[in-house]
Structures are given as structure tokens and as C-alpha cells.
Structure 1
Amino acid sequence: MASYLRGQGLSFDSDTPPRQFAAGFGNFNYLIRVDGQWAVLRRPPPGPIPPGANDMARESLILSRLPKAYPLAPRTLHYCEDSHVLGARFFIMEYRAGLSIGGQLPEAVQQSWHGEAPVGEYLGTLLIRLLADLHAIPPEQVGLDSLGKPDGFIRRTLDGWTQRARLAWENDLPMELVQVIEWLEQRIPADQRHCFIHNDFKLDNVLLRETDLSPVAVIDWDMGTRGAPLYDLAVLLSYWTERGDPPCMHALGQMPTAGNGFPSREQAAAHYQSLTGVSLTSLHFFRVLALLRSAVVFQQIHRRRSRDEKESGTIPDFEQLARELSSFTLEVTRGRYY
């Protein structure tokens, strides 16, 4: 690494051991020092990569351009195309120190919060505002108007996740998922206004200043593209657990939205509409599509991790979670949950 970066005019501090960030199931991230400054090295995990995932070239391109209009996106410092250096393509981006909140709201945050609204109401409203701000940026303004193919995005996204589902379950799909896919096939909406979308926007991808929970950075852009804004909203809502949801949604452990004063999914969607003016007419379709994606992702994680016998005995039962999410998704098609 030091030798490679020297050839690129960069100085890698090999006396400071890289430290891996612990969170996440996907890409590996390491805190390193380059040219005397802290930076983050980001690379894919080892092993086979699902189509369209863990795309370092795409993410480094996005982060070389998007920060001009969306300062919360950290800047790319260097991209390495040569997979022989570290065994995979990687890039280096600026480091932003901040708090990442996952499925549990830290007790320290609850105790130190002194805002007028409950902390969950603040965080839920913040998430929707940051997503709306992103969707308001014209892709051509930041040189991302050639990224992705917005025409046919909805059809292509459904086909892509259907194919991934078949691969993840080795063509033995749960019956609930078969019914979900049939439901989606019969209700594909017409292409709508497109914008630049994050494609995995959620609370732990927003880094917060510990003193006042103001946003410091939005991270994890490897699936960013141009597409339907309601899909981006639906992906966020697929992580948005409510108190009355079945156990599988609570088992996701992605966002602490089942309490702490967070708005409901319906309230969050209504707030997004008030900020953007985007009609929610087809949101039900996108909600189901995003939940299909969640079920497939956890099945993919199960397959990837079950190949490693060292990990298989220490990880949650992602296969069971994927099946339960399939059942929940079918319930959403029937209108039993928002």
C-alpha cells in the first residue's frame, strides 16, 4: 500500500496501523493516515459480489462530484483501479468524525438530548429532510447526469431483485415471495420523474455530531444512481420499524424507530411529500419492492456467511429472518401494514 500510494504522489503512514470500522455487513472500511491526515479506505468484502453491489468505481465517482452540491457527502481522495494492490479495487475518502446510530438509541444520547421535540421526532424529521435535499439536486448540476439509466428503472429494478432472489434461494423461493413477485408484476407503475438517489439511505448512514446530533456526513454511496425518488423513500421506510410490527421487523435492528418519539412510516412519508411535492400514489408498490429487496439481502448475507464455518456459529439466523420478511412483505401487499 505504501509503495503504491508513493507512486501516486501520496504518503501512507505505515507506522499507524489501519483500524477497521466494526459496523455493517457489506464493504470493509479502515481508518488510515494519508499525507498526515486521517482518511478512510473503503473496499469490497472478499468472495463473490452480488451484481451491482460494492461498486467502488461508482462510489468514488459519485464522491468526486456530489459534494459540490451536497456537502454532507465526503470527498474522494484517490481511487485505485488495480485489484492487485489489495486484492480488490478500493478508494480513499476524507474522514468525518461522527456518531452512527443503529438499531438502538444510545443511552448517552437519550440523557443528553435537550431539544424541544423528542429525540426520535428530531431524527426522523432530519432523515426525511436530508433525503428530500438530495432529491432536489439536478444530476447534471454535479456531472452525474450520465450515471445509471433512469428510463425503465422500475422494471429493471424489479427484474434485478427477482433474479437475485432466485439466485439467493437457488430457485427454491419461499411461496410468500413468489406471491409478492406476482403482485409486483401486475402493478408496475409508469416511469416517473427521476433524480439522483442514494439507494440505501438510513439512519446509520448519517453521521451525527455528538454534541447536538447535527449531521456531519452521509456515507455508503456505492449503489447511488439516477432513479425513482419514491424508491429511495421506500428503501428508508423498509428499515423503519414500528411498535406494532411483527418480530422480524424488530429483529432487523436497523433503526430505533419503534419508540423514542419517532414518527410513523405514514407520517414520515407525508413529511417527504410536503417537502418535495412528489405524489405518493405509487408508494405502496415501492414499499413492497423495497421489502422484497430486504428479504433478498438477508438471504444473500446468510449464503455468504454460511460459507465461512468460523462465522456460521456466531451470526444471527439470517435465513429465518429472510423468510419472515418475505411473509411480512406479503402482508404489506394486502394493506395490513403501511
Structure 2
Amino acid sequence: MQHPLTSDTAAVRLGEELPYKDLELFLRRNIENLPNDILEVQQFPAGHSNLTYQLKVGKWTAVLRRPPHGPVAPKAHDMEREYKIISSLQPFFSPAPKPILFSNDQSIIGSSFFLMERKRGLVIDGTFPKGIEPTPEINRQISEIMVSKLAELHAIPYQQTSLLEISKPEGFMERQVHGWIKRYERVKTDENPAVVPLATWLSANIPKRHEFAVIHYDYKLNNMMFNEDFTSMEGLFDWEMATIGDPLADLGVALGYWIGKSDPTIIQNGPGRSVTMLDGFLDRSEFIDLYARKSGRDVTHINFYLAFAFFKLAGICQQIYYRYKLGQTDDPRFASLNEYVNSLMIHGLSIIEEEL
């Protein structure tokens, strides 16, 4: 059954407006054959990190990505890096948006930014788009597409891309584990008895052998766009964390966002709440088994990667909560993130206890 496409943009949030005049002047200097119509801007409301806008001038449309306002973590929100990633991967992976241009001129909108193509389709963000009734068949179909595209991404011949210029595959998991433990400690606001045993176990159990692949590292439903009948993935966005790394770490991150019916209530209802608890969606075990068949990879030690994914997600949320606590953002969505962080740590610890 075909569904009409629903709007995935909204009015720009207060305090996150773009300077229309300077931006429009920039566009007219850099975009050929731009229509004479006025610039219209809307915002993509999903996500807690980088800010993403739709730009429209007559029939011309594009998407603008910029960092969040206020201080940001070191090396985070690197617009030039993300632009290089999609530029390198788009020829190999059609869901990656086509790049248009990158600008490091801070005088235009107050930060670096880049433009990319505006893809059209359906985005699932916590719920299905209005007017669409999910069925178990559709949910199964979405699950299988997601697994297939993840395996396809991991099969890209990364040596033929330019990602090696901005990636360091060797020692990837060691840097990830130790790095995220340090990042969490820098922004810690609450005491949680699960953190030390979880961090200690992860440090002591880093897998010794890895494969390397192109990884997205933020692979979740609201970073994807599907066609009208959910038979194909039209877009995959938010490439800021992509690199050459361990593909099972990418699988772990995907599974961390893949909320199940047996997960604690606070995780089910958290900011990453997901439709994946609905009938028809694969459960985590089915997702893992299908990925193993599609990719041919050994997933024996996936519990390590899943436990680390919960620790990493907790670290990301803690960074956001820390900014909120310091008054660097007043977004009300962030007010209770500390409780969510604590639950993620506890859940990660419960996973490794299965290994002990």
C-alpha cells in the first residue's frame, strides 16, 4: 500500500534561528542558477546533537548542517569531516546524501556548516508518521532492510575511499573504550554504582582481533529515510561519527538503539524511545542472527559490543546533560537525561553479568 509522504520539518526552534540575510547572500554567491524567490528555512526537529535545516528557494532545496550552539566537546561536531565522509561514501552507498558544499566562514551563520541534497521519504522518529498504520509485515520489512543495509555498508571496499585519510583503524576499540570512559568522567554529574564495574570489565575484555569496515556508528531509525511503502531505504544521515572501525561496534550501537519489550521502562520511554517494540520488528537476537547471515561475520562476542554501546550512549547523553546542567542549553528535553544515563549504565552492567 502506498502512503502520501508526510512533512518531516517544522518551524525553527527559538534560539536556533539562522541569519537569513547573510545566508541568502552566501547562497546567491555560491549556488548556480538559484531562483529569485526568497529563502525559506525550516528545521528537522529530530536529534539532540547537530542542528539540521531545510533551505528552500523556489524549487531549489538543500539541507544545512551546523554544530549546536554553545561550547562543544573537543573534536565533536566537525562539519568538514562529516562533509568529507559523505563525499567519499556517496558513490558506493546510495542512501548517503550527495554533498553540495562546505563552508568554514564563521561570519555567515556563526559556525562552519555544509549543504547536502534534500532527500524525500518517510522518517520514523519515536512513532510512525501521521496517517501511517504500521503492520507486523511492514515492521518486519523495515527490520530486514536495516540489517541488509548495515551489512552492505560494512562490505564497502574502504580502501577505495578517502576515509583512511581521516581514520585510524588500528587500535580502534581500545581508543573507543578508554576514550569514552574518560569522556564520561569529564562530564560526570551523578554517582552511579554500575559505572566502575562496567568500565573495568570493558577495559579488561576488549577483543584482541578485529575486522575493519566503514561504520556509521549512529545507525538508528530516526537517522534513516524510507520510501512510501517501506520497501527501500532512501536516505541515511548524521554521518559525523562514521569512520573505519570494527563493524561489530557498529552493530552494537544499532542494537543499543533497538529497544526491546524486556528492556527497563525508563529505557523504553527515554529520549531514544523506539517503535521497535511493536509486533513484527526483529528482536535483538533475530537482528544479530540475520546480520551474521548477511555479513558472514562471527558474532560470538556481541555482548561486549552491546554492553559498550550502552556505555557509549550513556556517555553521549551525559555530555548533553552536562551542557544542560551548566546552562549552556535550556532545551527541556534534556532535563531528566541524567536518569536515563543511570539506567543505561545499569543495563550495560546487566549484559556483562551474563558473561561472568
TM-score by length of 1: 0.91
1:63-212 equivalences under 5 Å are: 63-106=86-129, 108-110=131-133, 118-169=137-188, 173-212=191-230
Q: Residues 75 and 94 of structure 1 are in contact (CA less than 8 Å); yes or no, is this contact kept in structure 2?
A: yes
Closer, same or farther: CA 35–156 of 1 in aligned 2, 3 Å: farther
Deviation at 1:265, TM superposition (A): 0.3
Instruction: Note if 1:221 corresponds to 2:239.
Output: yes
Q: Which residue of 2 aligns with 1:264?
A: 283
Q: Which residue of 1 aligns with 2:324?
A: 305
Q: Report the more deviating stretch, 282-291 or 71-80.
A: 282-291
Percent sequence identity is: 31
Deviation at 1:310, TM superposition (A): 7.9
Q: Which residue of 1 aligns with 2:25?
A: 3
Closer, same or farther: CA 244–28 of 1 in aligned 2, 3 Å: same
- The alignment partner of 1:84 has SS state of helix
Q: Report the more deviating stretch, 47-56 or 222-231.
A: 47-56
1:220-259 equivalences under 5 Å are: 220-252=238-270, 253-259=272-278
Per-residue CA deviation, residues 229-264 of structure 1 (Å, 9 max, x unaligned), is 000000000011111111122023442111231111
Q: Which residue of 1 aligns with 2:7?
A: none
**Count of residues paired in the alignment:** 331
Per-residue CA deviation, residues 259-289 of structure 1 (Å, 9 max, x unaligned), is 2311110110110000111111221111111
1:24-43 equivalences under 5 Å are: 24-33=47-56, 36-43=59-66
Any stretches of 5+ residues in structure 1 without a counterpart? Answer: none
Q: Report the more deviating stretch, 259-268 or 3-12.
A: 3-12
Q: Using the alignment, how far apart are the partners of 1:65 and 1:55 within structure 2?
A: 16
Amino acid in the other structure paired with 1:43: R
Q: Using the alignment, how far apart are the partners of 2:131 and 2:351 within structure 1?
A: 35
Q: Using the alignment, how far apart are the partners of 2:179 and 2:57 within structure 1?
A: 38
Instruction: Note if 1:45 corresponds to 2:72.
Output: no
- The alignment partner of 1:108 has SS state of coil
Instruction: Note if 1:54 corresponds to 2:77.
Output: yes
Q: Using the alignment, how far apart are the partners of 1:177 and 1:120 within structure 2?
A: 34
Q: Using the alignment, how far apart are the partners of 1:237 and 1:81 within structure 2?
A: 35
Per-residue CA deviation, residues 147-193 of structure 1 (Å, 9 max, x unaligned), is 310000000001111111101205x6522111100011111111411
TM-score by length of 2: 0.86
Closer, same or farther: CA 134–33 of 1 in aligned 2, 3 Å: same
Aligned partner of 1:276 among 269, 285, 295: 295
Closer, same or farther: CA 95–146 of 1 in aligned 2, 3 Å: same
Closer, same or farther: CA 309–26 of 1 in aligned 2, 3 Å: closer
Amino acid in the other structure paired with 1:223: M
Q: Using the alignment, how far apart are the partners of 1:323 and 1:12 within structure 2?
A: 50
Q: Using the alignment, how far apart are the partners of 2:329 and 2:236 within structure 1?
A: 33
Deviation at 1:52, TM superposition (A): 3.7
Any stretches of 5+ residues in structure 2 without a counterpart? Answer: 1-22
Q: Using the alignment, how far apart are the partners of 1:254 and 1:150 within structure 2?
A: 31
Aligned partner of 2:41 among 4, 14, 18: 18
Q: Using the alignment, how far apart are the partners of 2:186 and 2:353 within structure 1?
A: 26
Deviation at 1:309, TM superposition (A): 8.5
Amino acid in the other structure paired with 1:175: P
Closer, same or farther: CA 255–75 of 1 in aligned 2, 3 Å: same
Deviation at 1:72, TM superposition (A): 1.0
Q: Using the alignment, how far apart are the partners of 1:237 and 1:196 within structure 2?
A: 17
Q: Report the more deviating stretch, 268-277 or 75-84.
A: 75-84
Q: Report the more deviating stretch, 319-328 or 301-310.
A: 301-310
Q: Using the alignment, how far apart are the partners of 2:333 and 2:273 within structure 1?
A: 19
Closer, same or farther: CA 314–106 of 1 in aligned 2, 3 Å: closer
Deviation at 1:314, TM superposition (A): 6.0
Per-residue CA deviation, residues 114-141 of structure 1 (Å, 9 max, x unaligned), is xxx6222111111111100000001122
Q: Residues 197 and 224 of structure 1 are in contact (CA less than 8 Å); yes or no, is this contact kept in structure 2?
A: yes
Deviation at 1:107, TM superposition (A): 6.2
Deviation at 1:146, TM superposition (A): 2.2
Closer, same or farther: CA 133–311 of 1 in aligned 2, 3 Å: same
Closer, same or farther: CA 67–35 of 1 in aligned 2, 3 Å: farther
Amino acid in the other structure paired with 1:23: A
Q: Report the more deviating stretch, 3-12 or 142-151.
A: 3-12
Closer, same or farther: CA 69–37 of 1 in aligned 2, 3 Å: same
Q: Using the alignment, how far apart are the partners of 1:314 and 1:230 within structure 2?
A: 30
Q: Using the alignment, how far apart are the partners of 1:12 and 1:128 within structure 2?
A: 40
Amino acid in the other structure paired with 1:164: R
Q: Using the alignment, how far apart are the partners of 1:79 and 1:12 within structure 2?
A: 21
Q: Using the alignment, how far apart are the partners of 1:93 and 1:314 within structure 2?
A: 27
